[in-house]
């Protein structure tokens, strides 16, 4: 059993804390928000993540998982302190490190024994060295410590599984001994552990997210070409993915990527490159394609219903940036709703989980409590988030409720022939063999 402290109870912090506790460690999770910590003590999670509540409850009961707002209490027995606080980006894409600085300074203030400070937040390349300086400047007489970068690769919605079964664990430090100590607590995960220098570890995180975002933008570009040339991107993607060098994952065309990570990280990487006088052409194209892609469903609605959508009602199936989460950060649904409203449409939406988080972000959108209410009198439905419960819709029933039976499949989950048999006009993304080119 090792003593681990996690600073920040967002996705990364809370999932890592609960998982490390489940592996038999003594874990204290700290957050500066009294409300979050009070809620956690009462079993109320600050985020929606499948399996997290049960995992937290089990480990709290077993006495391995504790919550506090006090740095003294959190650090007194700690061997490792993980920094897992948010790093939002400003308008230029520059990561805002104020929470990382606050965490580092607070750790420095109370440290009374040697510590390994592990950075799990996604931070600009060079931040590990900066954190060490922040700690030393704050307290020149601070006890011995080392900084290790351990980027997180978990995905929302599958975070616990991703933590417990990682493809790899990347550790970076100038202190090899400290990195090996951190490797020890990851051994039960039985993944490949790579130890490198601090900056390289930090770069691996950005490069990985940027690559995945690029893969999606690539297939979305191919989707647009498929529409023009009469090919089906779903089949193209399947055929491409059979090549082991390409692979099937992150090759689904759709309405583009969103969430708290890809948009922020691609932008931040481009910013870091530009500050150093480099021109990251590809990263800019990856972002441009993504913002264009959010207009694709609107183009398709207009193609079928006309350019002026005044008096029309469009229903959004799903709002979260992907299934399995209530996260609305940079969700494609936000742009899609705004583009539709700009064209004059009345927008309605239903999401099984994300409506409370969506409400303040999209106050003009009418939130309804189910798929039938969404379809009632509507002129078009757009599948935005591919929740399982949207995959087998009772299309005959929905058609009977709608004014115009139009279905735009923003995630290519439906069989176009079947949807058409049910009397719908169907448009997917890049499914050009179905006579749906947008010219
Ligand atoms: C992403 C990475 O996948 C994680 O490895 C990383 O740890 C995390 O960011 C992070 O940096 O914290 P996440 O943002 O949870 O995870 O979501 P993903 O499952 O990667 O999906 C991102 C977006 O891409 C979603 O909007 C999704 O709908 C979209 N997507 C994904 C596609 O449009 N097509 C695909 O084929 C796959």
Q: Going from the N-terminus, what domains does the chain have, and what CATH number goes with each? A: 3-196 (3.40.50.720), 198-439 (3.40.50.720)
Rounded to whole angstroms, how far apart are CA atoms 119 and 236? 40
Phi, psi of 118 (to 5 degrees): -110, 125
Place of tokens 């202190």: 175
Rounded to whole angstroms, how far apart are CA atoms 232 and 433? 5
Judged on CB neighbours under 10 Å (0-12, 13-18, 19+), 410 is buried
Rounded to whole angstroms, how far apart are CA atoms 172 and 203? 10
What token pair was written down for 351? 């999401």
64 C-alpha to ligand 1 centroid (Å): 31
Ligand 1 mutation target, pool 19, 124, 150, 155, most atoms within 8 A of CB: 155
What is the pTM for the complete model shown?
0.94
262 C-alpha to ligand 1 centroid (Å): 7
- Contact between 21 and 27 under an 8 Å Cβ cutoff? The reply is yes
What token pair was written down for 227? 């529409």
Where does ligand 1 bind, in terms of residues with CB under 6 Å? 122, 152-156, 209, 212, 216, 250-252, 254, 257-259, 261-262, 321-322
Q: Is 261 a catalytic residue?
A: yes
What are the distances in angstroms from CA 64 to CA 29, 44, 178, 388? 11, 18, 23, 34
Ligand 1 mutation target, pool 8, 154, 204, most atoms within 8 A of CB: 154
Kindly name the residue from 29, 150, 226, 261 that is annotated as catalytic: 261
- Contact between 15 and 49 under an 8 Å Cβ cutoff? The reply is yes
Protein residue with its CA nearest to atom 3 in ligand 1 = 155
Q: Along the 439 residues of the chain, how does pLDDT read in single tens digits?
A: 999 999 999 999 999 999 999 999 999 999 999 999 999 999 999 998 999 999 999 999 999 999 999 999 999 999 999 999 998 888 887 889 999 999 999 999 999 999 999 999 989 999 999 999 999 999 999 999 999 999 999 999 999 999 999 999 999 999 999 999 999 999 999 999 999 999 999 999 999 999 999 999 999 999 999 999 999 999 999 999 999 999 999 999 999 999 989 999 999 999 999 999 999 999 999 999 999 999 999 999 999 999 999 999 999 999 999 999 999 999 999 999 999 999 999 999 999 999 999 999 999 999 999 999 999 999 999 999 999 999 999 999 999 999 999 999 999 999 999 999 999 999 999 998 765 554 4
């Amino acid at each position: 059993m090792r003593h681990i402290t996690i600073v920040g109870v967002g996705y990364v912090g809370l999932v890592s804390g609960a998982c490390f506790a489940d592996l038999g460690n003594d874990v204290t999770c700290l957050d500066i928000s009294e409300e979050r910590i009070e809620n956690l003590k009462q079993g109320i999670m600050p985020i929606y993540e499948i399996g997290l509540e049960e995992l937290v409850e089990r480990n709290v009961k077993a006495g391995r998982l504790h919550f506090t707002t006090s740095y003294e209490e959190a650090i007194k027995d700690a061997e490792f302190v993980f920094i897992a606080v948010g790093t939002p980006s400003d308008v230029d894409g520059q990561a805002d490190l104020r929470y990382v600085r606050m965490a580092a300074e607070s750790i420095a203030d109370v440290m009374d024994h040697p510590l390994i400070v592990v950075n799990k937040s996604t931070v600009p390349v060079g931040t590990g060295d900066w954190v060490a300086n922040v700690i030393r400047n704050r307290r020149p007489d601070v006890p011995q410590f080392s900084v290790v970068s351990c980027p997180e690769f978990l995905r929302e919605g599958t975070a616990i599984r991703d933590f417990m079964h990682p493809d790899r664990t990347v550790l970076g430090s100038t202190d090899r001994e400290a990195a090996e100590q951190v490797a020890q607590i990851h051994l039960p995960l039985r993944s490949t552990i790579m130890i490198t220098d601090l900056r390289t570890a930090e770069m691996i995180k950005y490069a990985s997210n940027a690559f995945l975002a690029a893969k999606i933008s690539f297939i979305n570009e191919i989707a647009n070409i498929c529409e023009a040339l009469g090919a089906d991107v779903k089949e193209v993607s399947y055929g491409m993915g059979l090549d082991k060098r390409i692979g099937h994952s992150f090759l689904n065309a759709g309405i583009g990527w969103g969430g708290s990570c890809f948009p922020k990280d691609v932008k931040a990487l481009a910013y870091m490159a530009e500050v150093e006088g480099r021109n990251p052409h590809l990263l800019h194209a990856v972002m441009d394609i993504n913002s264009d892609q959010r207009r694709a469903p609107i183009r398709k609605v207009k193609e079928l219903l006309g350019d002026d959508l005044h008096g029309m009602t469009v229903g959004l199936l799903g709002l979260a940036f992907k299934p399995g989460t209530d996260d609305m950060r940079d969700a494609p649904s936000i742009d899609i709703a705004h583009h539709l409203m700009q064209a004059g449409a009345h927008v309605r939406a239903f999401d099984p989980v994300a409506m409370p988080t969506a409400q303040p972000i999209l106050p003009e959108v009418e939130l309804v409590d189910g798929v039938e209410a969404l379809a009632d009198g509507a002129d078009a439905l757009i599948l935005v988030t591919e929740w399982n419960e949207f995959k087998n819709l009772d299309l005959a029933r929905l058609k009977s409720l709608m004014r115009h039976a139009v279905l735009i499949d923003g995630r290519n989950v439906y069989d176009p022939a079947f949807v058409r048999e049910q009397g719908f006009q169907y448009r997917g993304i890049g499914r050009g063999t179905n006579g749906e080119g947008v010219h």
